[in-house]
Amino acid sequence: MMPGAGPAGQRAGEAGVRMAARYVTGLVGALERYGERPAIGAGPRVLRFSEVLDTVHRLAGALADAGAGRGTGPGTGLACVTGGNRPEALLVRIAAHLLGARLTQVVTGPAVHGLEFVLRDCLPGLVVHDVPVPVTGVPLLGLDDLLARAAGREPAEVPVRAREEDVARVTYTGGTTGRPKGVASTFGAMAARDDRRGAAWSGTTHLSGTTHLSVTSLAQRAGGRCLEQLRAGGRVEILDPFTPGEFAAACRRLGRVSTYLTPPMVYRLLDDPATAGGVPGLEAVSYGASAILPERLREAVTRWGGRWRQGYGMNEAAVISRLTPADHEAAVAGRPELLASAPNCWPPSAARPRASRSRCATSGTRYCPSGARGSCGSGRPR
């Protein structure tokens, strides 16, 4: 009998499987399960799920050869800096997750401040990039060079090395009010977040029946939203740069589309003659990242229809309250004041009085009854 082949070895192997990060094993399972479906598109090129899985295994091998892998100390993380929303950056993210590497992603642009500080603070052992980056003493690897190394490798499966307690991502705040702040998320926390979101979306947004059109930074919320779509067997389309005309053309071409927009994008679509009256194919819109003008939101919901959802939160605290599709419908039917709020505490368990949970209260003294105005905070009102 081979060593480890008996019951004890089997139990050890099963324990190792149980420890593997569910966020990653679920994603890999989807890539295997939906093999010949279209997965990621960017213009004329579309990768099938099987092609994504093959590329991710190759990238994981190339990244491991370059020193990326699990670890919590200095020089163990991976940073990926790109000048735009390249689909390859999404593949690098999945490969990093496969390895259990602590990943910091940055898509450079006017809203990014303190890049050198971020690259020093996240303590990477490797920086992958397709734009010039500050020299910090950490090995640099061009994204195109990484892709070439991956393409030259023999196909080989890389097992999931990530564990629930490993830090999956360190996401940085914008740095507009000072030094950017790094917010760490474990694989376990990311899986729990997806579980809650999936339960809340049940019956309102069938991810596998739509194409998710990604138009915002893959280093932020959009990247995770794309992985949710893939996990559900749905297609992702990456559009960069965003213009109303290209957005409308993509919606017409793709059919049933869901997307995430920032308020300035909503305004541009409302003000452009090609999209002001409606966007055929657009079925579901999530929006956030900054405050939106209620009157302009009402215009969009009324003109375009579809399901609308808002999340209010920040990198440090994730989403703490929401405006649901039902709230948007009620707003255009006679309760316009809803569009100036996000009244539903998130996660839904926050609606029950308990310590250290988000709750809507008036003047910090008592919980709000349904329909009343108040402020959303953390902890138990005094």
| Beta-bridge mates of residue 185 | 169
Run of H or E residues at 62 = helix 49-65
Q: How confident is the model at residue 195 (pLDDT cuts 50, 70, 90)?
A: confident
In angstroms, the CA 100 to CA 72 distance is 10
Run of H or E residues at 237 = strand 235-238
Q: How many residues does the chain have?
A: 382
Lowest mean per-residue pLDDT among 180-189, 216-225, 282-291, 338-347: 338-347
User: Taking residues 112-117, what's their average pLDDT?
Assistant: 84
Lowest mean per-residue pLDDT among 56-65, 71-80, 111-120, 349-358: 349-358
Q: Please, are residues 379 and 356 in contact by the beta-carbon 8 Å criterion?
A: yes
**124-165, pLDDT tens digit by residue?**
999 999 999 999 999 999 999 999 999 999 999 999 999 999
Dig out the tokens for 217 from the structure: 């930074």
Instruction: Considering only CA atoms, give the Rg of the chain.
Output: 22
CATH of 20-36+49-185, one of 3.40.720.10, 1.10.1040.10, 3.40.50.12780, 1.10.287.70: 3.40.50.12780
Would the pLDDT of 379 be above 70?
A: no
Longest dimension (CA), the chain: 74
Question: What is the topology classification, in CATH, of domain 189-372?
Answer: Rossmann fold (3.40.50)
Describe the chain by its helix, strand, coil percentages, rounded to 5. 40, 25, 40
CATH 3.40.50.12780 maps onto the chain at 20-36+49-185, 189-372
User: Taking residues 188-208, what's their average pLDDT?
Assistant: 67
Dig out the tokens for 123 from the structure: 């303590």
Q: Please, are residues 138 and 119 in contact by the beta-carbon 8 Å criterion?
A: yes
What rounded mean pLDDT belongs to the chain? 85
117: buried, middle or exposed (CB in 10 Å: 19+, 13-18, 0-12)? middle
- Put the strands of the sheet holding 38-42 in their side by side order: 45-48, 38-42, 235-238, 211-214, 257-261, 282-287, 307-314, 318-323, 344-345
**263-292, pLDDT tens digit by residue?**
999 999 999 999 999 999 999 999 988 889
Q: How confident is the model at residue 197 (pLDDT cuts 50, 70, 90)?
A: low
Q: Closest Cα partner for 153 from 59, 52, 48, 35? A: 59
Q: Are strands 167-172 and 375-378 parallel, antiparallel or unpaired?
A: unpaired
Listed in sequence order, the residues at least 6 apart from 157 whose beta carbon sits closer than 8 Å to its beta carbon are 57
Predicted pLDDT at 73:
83
Lowest mean per-residue pLDDT among 33-37, 113-117, 155-159, 310-314: 310-314
Q: Please, are residues 151 and 58 in contact by the beta-carbon 8 Å criterion?
A: yes
Q: Please, are residues 50 and 155 in contact by the beta-carbon 8 Å criterion?
A: no
Predicted pLDDT at 372:
63
Q: How confident is the model at residue 206 (pLDDT cuts 50, 70, 90)?
A: very low
Return the DSSP state at 155. Answer: P
